[in-house]
A = this chain, B = another copy of it.
Amino acid sequence: MATIHDVIEPTPARDPYVQGCPSRDVLDQIGSKWAVLVIGELGRHGACRFTQLRDQLSGVSEKMLTQTLRMLERDGMVLRTVYPDAPIRVEYQLTPLGQTLRSPLKALTDWSVQHIEDVLTARKQYQERATRPR
Show the binding face of A for B, using Cβ within 8 Å.
Answer: 11, 14-20, 22-24, 26-28, 30-33, 36-37, 40-41, 56-59, 73-77, 97, 100-101, 103-105, 107-109, 111-113, 115-123, 125-126
What's the nearest-Cβ distance from chain B to residue A106, in Å? 9
Q: What is the CB-to-nearest-CB distance from A133 to chain B, in angstroms, rounded to a whole number?
A: 14
Tell me how far the C-beta of A17 lies from the nearest C-beta in chain B, rounded to whole angstroms.
6
With beta carbons under 8 angstroms apart, the residue of B23, B58, B101, B119 that contacts A75 is: B119
- In the bound complex, residues from chain B placing their C-beta under 8 Å from that of A119 are 22, 26, 75-77, 97
| Alpha-carbon separation in the docked complex, A77 to B112 (Å) | 12
Cβ–Cβ contact B116 & A111, under 8 A: no
Is B126's CB under 8 angstroms from A73's CB? yes
How many protomers of this protein does the assembly include? 2
Cβ of A128 to closest chain B Cβ, rounded Å: 12
Q: Is the CB of B11 within 8 A of A117?
A: yes
Of B18, B26, B112, B118, the contact of A58 (CB 8 Å cutoff): B18
User: Contact between B17 and A112 (Cβ–Cβ < 8 Å)?
Assistant: no
**Chain B: which residue is nearest A11 at the CB level?**
B117
Bound complex: CA A103 to CA B43 (Å):
21
Residues of B within 8 A of A112 (CB): 14, 16, 23-24, 26-27, 30
